[in-house]
Structure 1
């Protein structure tokens, strides 16, 4: 008995000693680690790594930037059954324990002793929150002890629902999806509230091992894990037996669903991304900013499509350059067509396709298109494919499919609808032969009053070339420059009735090897011409004479007044023909100044920025067009609220105040040009559409549009710049490395069709918008041959003038000159 007593005392002392040592070690660890633990309050301030999202003005997703997909969600937005699925999988006693589950830790300790390695951590959801938000993922005892201490603190300071919400927003669930809302989108393309029970259980099975139990990578293991969780939910009375039976028989429906971009606007998205990163640094990708742009989704998509279609149309006019690849017969026999076309990327809306068969007798080609499969290419989609030789020379028109393609060719195609089938006949998609255009282009559309960018396309395909031609390409504007020259002339006393002689002119220049003999694009000369007609017919000789009279330096100074960059403008008479250089955006901005009646314009893209909590951190200022007391208005507004400096650079376009700066509430836009001169120019530029080089735009059936075509020497740059009083849109087409587009290519044939396709949609349903007639304007009937007042009963045309510049009433001297008795000095001054 004494031996048993002594043994019992020994074990008692050993137990007490072990317990004391454990308490001392634990207390020591606590005292050692406690000062280094972060305060739990930080959980309330932690920003989940949420991507940057960019939306159109009408809330359509344009782009998402960031490594982690996450969409924070409140616990009230998560169905109870989904919460129970995670509890069944991870921590069934979550609402019962105090942050640490002793049973779970004991189980983990037993596994460690029996196997010699850590099998499971015994972690509760609270412990996982502590680890995910504050600690590393190293599997060490020190980290585990920190995890326990933090879990106890978290439980003391936060309620259970808040802890569970933090957990469900933070956990990694595979495929870059962080948090339950992102996972529901990635795997099922649904919000959490619309998931089925089987889908909820599938998501709940992912935190344990996102790779091993991923339904996309390991569907068999994912199914086993899902059904185990469903069984746990049944055993815990979270679901009924009938619900369990139905859910375990449900098939796997998970798939990979990338974020659905709703607007094809990569160039615009990149401009927005660059601006946000410039202001917020790398936090732009993780802090959950939502950026709303000024672009309208319909207009933006139309701009993208119109530019692509216009470039493809140009390309077809110049012939087929051949297949992008050729597969030999041996490879065709050994490799499936699906694998072969994977080597060729999609470009914009063009899909690579392998020619697998040609039937000249039925005038059709059989192809295998990437992502589509077998398809039919009718010969009538190939008749344009005359062999390309040069921009001005093509081969003969093909008569059968084999004149264009051969088996094994890889080409680009447009995917059409399925061809109608009949009884016993297969139904296949039809495709149309296409090719990636070599020419590039840009389209910019601005709100003429505010400068808001309504649409912008910087090239055929952003993935093919990230060079944004809309804001980066410095090109010669050609005749689209002439409206600024004519506006300056109108401001200096000339009128639409002023006559210049369209006749040969020669300039000797010591810097040139030969004399300069400028010509009109037609190569002809037309004699005395009114300025109105000279503008709408784009007469080069008249523009040169006009610049000579107005003065080169005076014109450059006027361009500065209009805030048009002059750094790349020549100080010689070639300036009148648009030989300087402007980006499409700079030209569009100058055009908007004309469109709105002469006020300054500062293009901008970002309308609003919100943080992850939905609070607005930046709002674009209101634009005010100012005629009088502008200094007082600007002084009362926030500093730096006036228009941009001369020119609008890419950096200025992307510039937005940082979160610490206060955005100006108003932007004061001063008048830059006399409204009467602008009004007269509007009427002259409407004649470009009605009577001149822009007649194709009559197809829009509108009376309020005006514009100007532009084509540079050798057709290297082609333009159309057009507007009504509310919208100004500019299009450009050319090669990135300037080269001739072809003898028959002009602004009216390349750029104008793109402009028409866009403006047809942009102006649809809008009432006519013309500039109101200002005071001090008169209409007078003139003789179109002399530009003077028409005599009563004489054929004449009405012209618009400023009151002080109107032709003087007829005198007896005018009558003598009309009868051939005068000197004619007034006209002769303009002829030589």
Structure 2
């Protein structure tokens, strides 16, 4: 068996050597000169993050600071230019340390051995792997020069946080090309390969400081720096900014750049981008979402998008609790059924068609022909029946039955066109089930579709970039708001007024205290089988949507509703977001008509009506008939003499 094991090992080593011999020297494109990263700042000029190229780039040794080369060799392989791939002295020294500690550990590996291990072998510390590594390292040194091996090392080694190679690391941590690195930054980078997860610049400060001290001491011991230089370099860390503070927002900017300029724009870099993002709101959004989702279940996911309804500026966006630019972006990309959160658009369309907030509708379920002899009978969320109710009450209580009837009256094709103008692409083939939110939408698109309701009928497209500076050409490009009137101000105002009832006595009545402090409106959404919970709500100056659910939809039970799960997250965020903003009310159009009605009939109240309510109407739609159920009582006639 030992002989067989040796033969197998020899075969594997030979295969590895053959692979190494065939390996091209530079395995990815060379890093272009004079190209920096894409940097994003928020609306106040505060650093948000960087958008890095998708490709890996190779940087030649002449572009790697000599000081960085010396620092790396000092701490990793001081005899690099003297040995032939393995360093017998270092191996012996490591062996003595292992014996003293009473255990076997990694040690004595040269730069060449580390390169071989990272490119061709596993990391398991077995004797067999070490033998292969040593043989391959010695063969490698016969095929490549020392400078070529060192260049390969810098380009192949991992620097943490997804940065493979020095070019990515310099861009990620310092926003520079390697030749632009300072000596202080070089000290930090030289210490990373020992343990990329622990010593990268985004790790714990104390760990990085200790590792930097090791690098500086080795440089001093080898007389590469003086004690005075060591003291000066100790405090020169460089401006580490990291990959970003709003990863899903940055991912959306990345997608927008590709749409505007193509993938090459990301690879070229050299752009300074100003986003309408507010980092204070972003932090509040992340905290509110995390606390609210974890309150329900630790393995749930969620998303939040906040817009300025007047401009479409995305002020904050959280695409999930797993924050990195490459994770699933639930704010901008994930498509889910919105449930009842779609209903405000149906009611706004109905108002435009001449229906009124006081029109009476029966909550009695009816069956609809689905063809082929099949029928569909929509029911309310709790299977409750509310009897004859006004359209206002139907929206507040989120009546499925009434909403389907309204959609049936205005027509599915007409509503799909209307929703498209509002900014939401729906499919007519879903039929009347659109009233229950069966088509899939993104959270961003749904929030955007509410902007006409909050902004007097003007739709504002969601905007994540306000300006771009091309550093190569020194050219600025402005991105003004994209606005379009799509709804009458009167219909927007009445719909908003109706949605205010959702927060006072409707499906989000838990937000009643908030609504007393801030004029606001909103709508809950809960999908079939309790798989998605939504709340989209707004004030005159902010509109925010929240989604909570699982990436792979599954039922969470009857208590998992938009009102119980998403609405509290919305309120927690909005309380914080509105603190520095003035309390505003929705501006009322001058020609809105007010009438006193009897809610039982939706007609003009008479003195005999036991219930009266003030109702709002688009001009020309107000009732002109008195309530027939309660005619005015005639005054008693005096007796005939």
- TM norm structure 2: 0.66
- Post-superposition shift, 1:544? 1.6
Residue equivalent to 2:620: 804
Residues 248 and 60 of structure 1: is their aligned pair in 2 closer, same or farther, counting only changes over 3 Å? closer
- Post-superposition shift, 1:557? 2.7
How do residues 228-307 of structure 1 correspond to structure 2 at under 5 angstroms?
230=226, 247=228, 250=231, 253=234, 259-261=240-242, 264-276=245-257, 279=261, 281-282=263-264, 284-285=266-267, 287-307=269-289
How do residues 549-588 of structure 1 correspond to structure 2 at under 5 angstroms?
549-567=409-427, 569-588=428-447
Q: Does 1:685 align with 2:545?
A: no
**Secondary structure of the equivalent of 1:572?**
helix
Q: Does 1:612 align with 2:471?
A: yes
Aligned residue among 553, 563, 569 for 1:738: 553
CA contact (8 A) 1:263 1:301 kept: no
**Secondary structure of the equivalent of 1:759?**
helix
Residue equivalent to 1:219: 216
- Post-superposition shift, 1:734? 1.6
How do residues 434-453 of structure 1 correspond to structure 2 at under 5 angstroms?
435=298, 437=299, 439-453=300-314
Alpha-carbon distance in 2 for matches of 1:283, 1:556: 36
CA contact (8 A) 1:48 1:286 kept: no
Alpha-carbon distance in 2 for matches of 1:557, 1:283: 35
Alpha-carbon distance in 2 for matches of 1:698, 1:603: 29
**Secondary structure of the equivalent of 1:500?**
strand
**Secondary structure of the equivalent of 2:370?**
coil
- Show structure 2 runs of 5+ residues with no match: 1-31, 56-66, 71-144, 149-169, 190-210, 635-641
**Secondary structure of the equivalent of 1:805?**
coil
- Post-superposition shift, 1:188? 7.8
Residue equivalent to 1:760: 575
CA contact (8 A) 2:183 2:233 kept: no
Alpha-carbon distance in 2 for matches of 1:696, 1:262: 39
**Secondary structure of the equivalent of 1:761?**
helix
Aligned residue among 709, 722, 731 for 2:524: 709
CA contact (8 A) 1:553 1:571 kept: no
Aligned residue among 381, 390, 412 for 1:530: 390
Q: Does 1:520 align with 2:380?
A: yes
Aligned residue among 783, 808, 819 for 2:598: 783
Residue equivalent to 1:595: 454
How do residues 428-467 of structure 1 correspond to structure 2 at under 5 angstroms?
435=298, 437=299, 439-463=300-324, 466-467=327-328
Alpha-carbon distance in 2 for matches of 1:458, 1:249: 44
CA contact (8 A) 1:715 1:743 kept: yes
Residue equivalent to 1:53: 39
Q: Which has the larger radius of gyration?
A: 1
Residues 699 and 65 of structure 1: is their aligned pair in 2 closer, same or farther, counting only changes over 3 Å? same
CA contact (8 A) 1:592 1:727 kept: no
**Secondary structure of the equivalent of 2:331?**
helix
Alpha-carbon distance in 1 for matches of 2:230, 2:404: 82
Alpha-carbon distance in 1 for matches of 2:558, 2:451: 31
Q: Deviations over 1:280-320 (max 9, x none)?
A: 755645643221111100111222222222221120xxxxx
Alpha-carbon distance in 2 for matches of 1:802, 1:610: 46
Q: Point out which structure has higher relative CO (alpha carbons under 8 A, 6+ apart).
A: 2
Q: Deviations over 1:248-273 (max 9, x none)?
A: 78497369778234963111112223
**Secondary structure of the equivalent of 2:178?**
coil
Alpha-carbon distance in 1 for matches of 2:175, 2:579: 42
Alpha-carbon distance in 2 for matches of 1:559, 1:174: 45
Aligned residue among 508, 511, 524 for 1:697: 511
Residues 188 and 563 of structure 1: is their aligned pair in 2 closer, same or farther, counting only changes over 3 Å? closer
Residues 509 and 273 of structure 1: is their aligned pair in 2 closer, same or farther, counting only changes over 3 Å? closer
Residues 298 and 139 of structure 1: is their aligned pair in 2 closer, same or farther, counting only changes over 3 Å? closer
Alpha-carbon distance in 1 for matches of 2:256, 2:250: 10
- Show structure 1 runs of 5+ residues with no match: 1-45, 69-85, 90-136, 141-169, 190-213, 231-243, 316-434, 624-666, 820-832
Alpha-carbon distance in 2 for matches of 1:557, 1:450: 23
Residues 463 and 538 of structure 1: is their aligned pair in 2 closer, same or farther, counting only changes over 3 Å? same
